[in-house]
Amino acid sequence: MGSQILNRIRKMNPDLEILSCSDWDFRPYGEVIRISHEEDLELRKAMKRTPVPESGNIYVASDPSLEELPLVTMSRRKFFGEMPVQAGYCNGRGYTMNALEYHRCSEVNYTTTGMVLLLGRQDQLFNGYIASGSLKAFYVAPNTAVVIHPGILHFAPLRVKEDGFNCMVILEKGTNEPIPLGERAPYDDEESLLWMRNKWLVCHSDSPQAEKGAFPGIKGRNIQLMI
């Protein structure tokens, strides 16, 4: 099923090169996590209990039922060095890039639906700007877990089916919590991009994030995924 979805979205988006997270090209950005059949069944059951909104996306940073899963225990040690972590989800029907964020820690994702991630590298940012054409699109097949390296630019997944996507999100505890924000000044240095705890953000000028005052550092088209 995964290869059929990938072939279909490639045909629907001829102007966007869509790679697979199993390709060698994914290695600078992250890696696929091997999970057992039993772990996968647990993850599927848990993620099916998380809601997908009728429109837009929903993000829940911490869901206690997810934080008990073996993937979280393994990730805390292997990818976070036994630092405290949180496990939640980002579910939705979004299909537009809109923004890019990065963290100082890894991020672990698992999906039962499949999804596309748009990824870039922090060293591609120049004075807070990045070209959307420099991003890489990676398809993550259903029932796949991946880890995204620290400093990799990413944002909410893009759906590959009409009924939306689900995505488990494991991060260092406290990530994405609100911080006091003053008036957003023009770009000065990296601190200008700090949007939430452990979350640096740039956005496209044609995005909801820009309306909220995020720095409009993404140049080029606001990428949309057709299905």
Q: Give the residue carrying structure tokens 């990045």.
A: 130
Report pLDDT for 178.
94
Residues of the chain with pLDDT > 70, as a percent, come to: 97
Considering only CA atoms, give the Rg of the chain: 17
Report pLDDT for 226.
98
Token pair in block for residue 86: 């949180």
Coil, strand, or helix at residue 4?
helix
The string of DSSP letters for 172-188 reads ETTTT--------PSP-
Report pLDDT for 82.
98
Report pLDDT for 185.
63
> How far is residue 58's CA from residue 60's CA, in Å, rounded to a whole number?
7
> How far is residue 200's CA from residue 214's CA, in Å, rounded to a whole number?
10
Report pLDDT for 56.
96
**Ranges in the chain, pLDDT < 50:** none
CB atoms within 10 A of CB 33: 18
Report pLDDT for 1.
63
Domains and CATH numbers, the chain: 2-219 (2.60.120.480)
Cβ-based burial of 61 (10 A; exposed 0-12, middle 13-18, buried ≥19): middle
Coil, strand, or helix at residue 19?
strand
Report pLDDT for 183.
64
